């Protein structure tokens, strides 16, 4: 019941409000690696809702059972604790490959190049063996600190190969290369999404990403930590828009890569202002030294996804942020809500 209510609240009904896909297509067996994480768990909700049989493969490094707990006991749902760096034998129709920590705090602490390379290789080997369609969740980070703005898929990027972020940036670039190799060399059906910064309910509260940091800090009456001068930009996408894009990409005809992101671009100071307006007009800001190799700006050009997938984001930051804030409020304070005291 909770899951159904939450989905309704977050506007995550059937695709585009049309007939649920489950009613007009065969039931698929779908693997979601990283399905216990932030994005993965929302994707799993949608796949289950449309009537597919879903296997989550996750080692719970940054994800948690809580995110998928509402499906435990459902015969269409299976949860496997497994590190994708190890081979895996399954019989499936589609593989959404998300397994990889996405926050700089996590991947700098535990460099994840091997997860990106060996994990992706294993899932491609699996796709090849069983003839499954494979979707890679790559990232806007493949553009590095971009010299082209906004970023178009044809831009090759500006990445430091030996920096603190390289395990992620170069890892995803290699994952894209492997994906195209298996497509060209072994005729695996593949799809590549380049995801831009995404936020929403179930984000890790303390994973260090900017939206989760600012929201948690403002709720806890701590100062919001702005790194550097706060003039760097990002474009923030609400998670249900991303999930819609991923499913359209998987079901569509095109390999990609496709940028999936919201073109609304904000400086970190502007983001802090939106958080103030949403949570607490008196929330303070504190400046901190910026991290190494931090990209100065980022904004997707989504012309390709609009034209070929018929997709574009629907939820602006000002509309999406309150949905995340109510989830964070519940998780931080439980039933006790200081704002209503």
Taking CB within 5 to 8 Å according to partner kind, which of ligand UDP, ligand NAD, none is near residue 128? Answer: ligand UDP
Q: Is there binding between residue 290 and ligand UDP (CB under 6 A)?
A: yes
Using CB under 6 A as the binding rule, whether residue 294 contacts ligand UDP is answered as yes
CB of 129 to ligand UDP, least distance (A): 4
**Catalytically annotated residue among 96, 107, 143, 168:** 168
Phi/psi for 233 (5° steps) reads: -120, 155
CB distance 96 to 32 below 8 Å: yes
> 50 is in the binding site of which of ligand UDP, ligand NAD, none (Cβ under 5 to 8 A by kind)?
none
Site track for ligand UDP across 211-250, x = CB under 6 A: --x-----------xxx----x-x----------------
Closest to 9 (Cα-Cα) out of 196, 200, 195: 200
In sequence order, what DSSP letters do the residues of 45-77 get, joined into one string?
A: HHHHHTT-EEEEEE--SS--GGGGGGGTT-TTE
| CB 313 to ligand NAD: min, Å | 13
Q: Considering CB distances under 5 to 8 angstroms, the limit depending on partner class, which of ligand NAD, ligand UDP, none binds residue 125?
A: ligand UDP
- How many angstroms separate the CA atoms of 225 and 26, rounded? 49
Instruction: Tell me, yes or no, if 168 is annotated catalytic.
Output: yes
88 binds ligand UDP (CB under 6 A): yes
- Local structure of 271: helix, strand or coil: helix
Q: Which is nearer to ligand NAD, 85 or 285 (CB)?
A: 85
Nearest to 236 by CA among 294, 150, 317: 317
CA-to-CA dists, residue 165 to 105, 201, 291, 293, 324, angstroms: 10, 25, 10, 7, 27
State the nearest-atom distance from the C-beta of 160 to ligand NAD, in Å: 18
Please say whether the beta carbons of 263 and 150 come within 8 A. Answer: yes
Residue 33 near residue 95 (C-beta atoms within 8 A): yes
Instruction: Say which entry of ligand NAD, ligand UDP, none residue 100 contacts (CB below 5 to 8 A, set by partner kind).
Output: ligand NAD
Q: Among ligand NAD, ligand UDP, none, what does residue 34 contact (CB within 5–8 Å per kind)?
A: ligand NAD
Residue positions annotated with a catalytic role: 168
Catalog residues that contact ligand UDP under the rule CB under 6 A.
87-89, 104, 121-122, 125-126, 128-129, 197, 209-210, 213, 225-227, 232, 234, 268, 290-291, 294
């Amino acid at each position: 019941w909770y899951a159904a209510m939450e989905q309704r609240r977050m506007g995550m009904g059937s695709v585009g409000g049309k007939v649920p896909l489950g009613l007009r297509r065969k039931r698929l067996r779908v693997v979601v690696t990283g399905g216990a994480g932030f994005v993965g768990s929302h994707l799993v909700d949608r796949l289950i809702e449309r009537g597919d049989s879903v296997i989550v493969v996750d080692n719970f490094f940054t994800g948690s059972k809580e995110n998928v707990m509402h499906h435990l006991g459902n015969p269409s749902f299976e949860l496997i604790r497994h590190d994708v760096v190890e081979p895996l034998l399954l019989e499936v129709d589609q593989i959404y490959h998300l397994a990889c920590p996405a926050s700089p705090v996590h991947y700098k602490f535990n460099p994840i190049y091997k997860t990106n390379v060996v994990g992706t290789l294993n899932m491609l080997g699996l796709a090849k063996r069983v003839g499954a369609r494979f979707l890679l969740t790559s990232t806007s980070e493949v553009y590095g600190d971009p010299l082209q703005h906004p970023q178009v898929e044809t831009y090759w990027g500006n990445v430091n190969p030996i920096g603190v972020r390289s395990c992620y940036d170069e890892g995803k670039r290699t994952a894209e290369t492997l994906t195209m190799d298996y497509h060209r060399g072994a005729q695996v059906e593949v799809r590549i999404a380049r995801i831009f910064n995404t936020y929403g309910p179930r984000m890790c509260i303390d994973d260090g990403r900017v939206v989760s940091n600012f929201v948690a800090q403002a709720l806890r009456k701590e100062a919001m930590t702005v790194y550097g001068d706060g003039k760097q930009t990002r474009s923030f996408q609400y998670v249900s828009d991303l999930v819609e894009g991923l499913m359209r990409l998987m079901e569509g005809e095109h390999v990609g890569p496709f940028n999936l992101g919201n073109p609304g671009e904000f400086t970190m100071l502007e983001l802090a202002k939106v958080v103030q307006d949403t949570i607490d007009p008196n929330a303070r800001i504190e400046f901190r030294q910026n991290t190494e190799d931090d990209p100065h700006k980022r904004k997707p050009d989504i012309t390709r996804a609009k034209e070929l997938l018929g997709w574009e984001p629907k939820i602006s930051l000002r509309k999406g942020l309150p949905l995340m804030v109510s989830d964070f409020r519940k998780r931080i304070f439980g039933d006790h809500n200081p704002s209503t005291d």
